[in-house]
Structure 1
Amino acid sequence: MPGTLYRLASFTQDPEGGNPAGVWIGDALPDAATMRNIAAEVGYSETAFLGPEHDGVRTVRYYSPEAEVSFCGHATVAAGVVLGRLNGAGTYRLATAVGEVPVSVERVDGDWHAALVSVAPEQRAVSPALVEAALTSLGWAAAELDPELPPALAYAGAWHLVLAVASRARLDELSYDFASLKALMLRENLTTLQLVWRESATCFHVRDPFPVGGVIEDPATGAAAAALGGYLRDAGLIEAPARLTLRQGEAMGRPSRLEVEVPATGGIVVSGTAVSLQAP
C-alpha cells in the first residue's frame, strides 16, 4: 500500500541519541499484517502508522517488530514533528486504540517540539508475587528498592510496572533474563517495566526493558513517562501541578530527555524534540 516512511529519533536533537521511531503516513492504513511487516523491516522499537485526516482527526496505530502496541509516546512525538514539518504548527488530534491523544506542535529556535496529552492515567496495586517475579528476572533484591516510591502498576495508554531503586548504581547495572521477563510481562499484559531512580524532586532517571516488543531496552519511553507522572500525582508522591524531567538512555549511549508536565487533573503532558535519521 502506498505511503511515505519517515525515520526519526525522539526526545533528542542528536541523531546518535533518543529513541528511533518510524512514522508511516498514507491515504489509508495498511492491514495489520502489513503494518507488522513494515515495523519489522524498519527494526525500531515502534513505528507509528497514520491514516488521512477526517473531521480533524487522524487514526494512528503503533507496531513493534513483533506485535501491535496500544500506545507509544516516542513515536507520537516523532509523528507530531513530521506533521509539523509537513503542515505547520498547531494541534493534531490522533485517534489511538486507547482514545484520542492531541499533539501540540511548535517550532522553537528552528527545532520542532511536540507535546502529547495522554489519556487519563490509572493505577493498580501490584501483588507481592508479581514484584518478586519481576525482581527475580531482573536479578534485583527487594532491599534495593526505594521504600518512598512503592511498586505500582501504572497506565496512560499502556500498562507498566513501576519499580524504583534507592541507588543509581543499581539502575546503571541493569542486566536481566530476557525470556523469563518477557513471559511474565506477556502474562501480566505489561508493555514495559518503568525502572526509576529519583535524583531530586523533579528529576528522575529511568530505564525501560521492552522484551514483549522484541527489544532489550527502550532509550526513551513516552508512554511510560506519562504513566509515571500519573502514578506520582495520584499516589500523592508529588504536588501537582508539577514539571518533571526524565533522563533515559544514558547507560545505552543514546541519551534522551523527556519533559513531563503533571496537571492537577487529567492527562499527562509529555514533550520533546525529534531529529531525522537516515535509513540504514
Structure 2
Amino acid sequence: MTTKTPPGSSPAVLRYTAFTTDPSGGNPAGVVLDAAGLDDEAMLAIAAEVGYSETAFLIPAADSPESPDGSDSPGQHYTARYFSPKAEVPFCGHATVAAAVALAERDGAVTGDGARAAYVFATRAGSVPVAVSRAEGAVRATLTSVTPHVEEAAADDVAEALAALGWDAGELAADLPPRIAFAGARHLVLAAATRDRLARLDYDFARLEALMRRLDLTTVQLVWRESPYVFHARDPFPVGGVMEDPATGAAAAAFGAYARELDLVPAESVLTLHQGEDMGRPGVLTVTLREGEKRVRVSGAAVPVPEGQA
C-alpha cells in the first residue's frame, strides 16, 4: 500500500542505477514513488536538483482492472512522468527500469529468487507494461515498449548531425543507414564504421541541441556493430542538459525496431547493447524481438545508488 506525501512536505527521492548490478555503472535515475500532489514545476525542480539525466515520478492509479489509458495488462497501475533537469520527456527507459525495481523492492515483491512482480505505467507515449523478477540475486525489469516505427532521415538533417558531431560521412557504416526510430521517444540512429570512431565523442553541444529540438529528437543514438547480435551504443543528450546518457532504454527499444525494419537480424532475436563503457559507467541492455509482435522488450538489472555516491 502506498502512503501519499503529506501536503507541504517533500517527497522521498530514491536513486537507482539501471542496466547494471554495480552502483557505479549503468545509468542513474531519480525515482519518486508517490508524486501525487506534485505539479509540473515541482517535478522539474526535483529533477534539476537530483541532476541525473531523468527522474521518474509515479502517481498510483485507483484500484481498477484497467489502467488509466485503457490497458488490460495485468499488474499494479501507475501514471509515470519523466523529467530531465531541463524539461519533461514523453518516455524514459532507464528510469522505468529503475522505478519498477524500486517499487518491487519497496513492496517486498522480489525478496527471493524466482519472485516476480508486474506493473503498468501510463506514460505520455502510451501504456508500458513492466515485469520485475529476481534471479541469482539480481533484480531485473523488462519493459514492453509502445508500438514503434521507423522513418527515413532527411539527407540535410543527417549532414547537419554529422557536422555537429564532427563526423565525416565516410565514417558511417554503409550497411546500417541513418534512420529516425521511435519506441516512445524519437532517436536519430547513426552507425559508426569503427569502434574507434564511436569512442571519440566531442561534439558541438548547442548545434546538435538545435537540430534535435527542430526534429523533436530525445537522443542521437550512435552505434557500432561488434557481431551479428552485439552492438555498442552512445547517446548524446543535449536536449536533456547533459552531454551523454550512459544507458538509454528508450533508444534501445527504438534500435530494436530499427534492426528489425532493416532486416539486420531475424524477426525472433535477442540483441545485446553495451553502453556507457566510454564514460566509465558500463551497462548492458537486452533487447528482445518476437516474431509477429511489433512491440520491443528491453531488459536490465537495477540497484540502489548508495547515499553520497553520484
Map 1:39-54 → 2, pairs under 5 A: 39-54=47-62
- Output the CA distance in 1 between the equivalents of 2:20 and 2:237: 20
- Structure 1 counterpart of 2:19: 11
Q: Is the 8 A contact 1:113 1:271 kept in 2?
A: yes
Q: CA deviation at 1:2?
A: 4.6
Q: CA deviation at 1:29?
A: 4.8
- Structure 2 counterpart of 1:234: 261
Q: Which amino acid aligns with 2:58?
A: L
Q: CA deviation at 1:279?
A: 3.8
Q: CA deviation at 1:4?
A: 2.3
TM-score normalised by length of structure 2 = 0.88
Q: Is the 8 A contact 2:17 2:98 kept in 1?
A: yes
TM-score normalised by length of structure 1 = 0.98
User: Is 2:108 aligned against 1:80?
Assistant: no
Moved over 4 A (4+): none
Q: Deviations over 1:176-230 (max 9, x none)?
A: 0001001111111000001000000110000000000001001100000000001
Task: Name which of structure 1's ranges 236-245 and 151-160 shifts more when overlaid on structure 2.
Answer: 236-245
- Structure 2 counterpart of 1:259: 286
Which of 63, 87, 92 is 2:83 aligned to? 63
- Structure 2 counterpart of 1:213: 240
Which of 195, 202, 208 is 1:168 aligned to? 195
- Structure 1 counterpart of 2:185: 158
Q: CA deviation at 1:262?
A: 1.1
3-state SS, counterpart of residue 274 of structure 2: strand
Q: Is the 8 A contact 1:2 1:26 kept in 2?
A: no
- Output the CA distance in 2 between the equivalents of 1:82 and 1:15: 14
- Output the CA distance in 2 between the equivalents of 1:138 and 1:91: 40
3-state SS, counterpart of residue 225 of structure 1: helix
Point out the structure with max Rg over C-alpha. 2
Which of 154, 157, 161 is 1:127 aligned to? 154
3-state SS, counterpart of residue 26 of structure 1: coil
Map 1:96-115 → 2, pairs under 5 A: 96-115=123-142
- Output the CA distance in 2 between the equivalents of 1:262 and 1:174: 29
Compare the two structures and name the one with the higher strand fraction. 1
- Output the CA distance in 2 between the equivalents of 1:41 and 1:279: 15
Q: Deviations over 1:32-84 (max 9, x none)?
A: 01000000000000000001132242100000000001100000000110111
- Output the CA distance in 1 between the equivalents of 2:261 and 2:246: 26
Q: Deviations over 1:62-112 (max 9, x none)?
A: 000000011000000001101111221321011001111000001112221
- Structure 2 counterpart of 1:138: 165
Which of 237, 250, 255 is 1:223 aligned to? 250
Q: CA deviation at 1:3?
A: 2.7
Distance 1:15 1:240, change over 3 A: same
Q: Cα RMSD (Å) of the superposition?
A: 1.1
- Output the CA distance in 2 between the equivalents of 1:111 and 1:5: 22
- Structure 2 counterpart of 1:269: 297
Which of 19, 23, 26 is 2:31 aligned to? 23
Q: Which amino acid aligns with 1:11?
A: F
Q: Which amino acid aligns with 1:216?
A: M
Q: CA deviation at 1:137?
A: 0.3
Q: Which runs of 5+ in 2 are unaligned?
A: 1-8, 65-75, 110-115
- Output the CA distance in 2 between the equivalents of 1:83 and 1:230: 28
Report the identity percentage: 54
Task: Name which of structure 1's ranges 168-177 and 21-30 shifts more when overlaid on structure 2.
Answer: 21-30
Q: Deviations over 1:132-151 (max 9, x none)?
A: 00000000000110110100
- Output the CA distance in 2 between the equivalents of 1:121 and 1:263: 13
Q: Is the 8 A contact 1:123 1:231 kept in 2?
A: yes
Q: Which runs of 5+ in 1 are unaligned?
A: none
3-state SS, counterpart of residue 62 of structure 1: strand
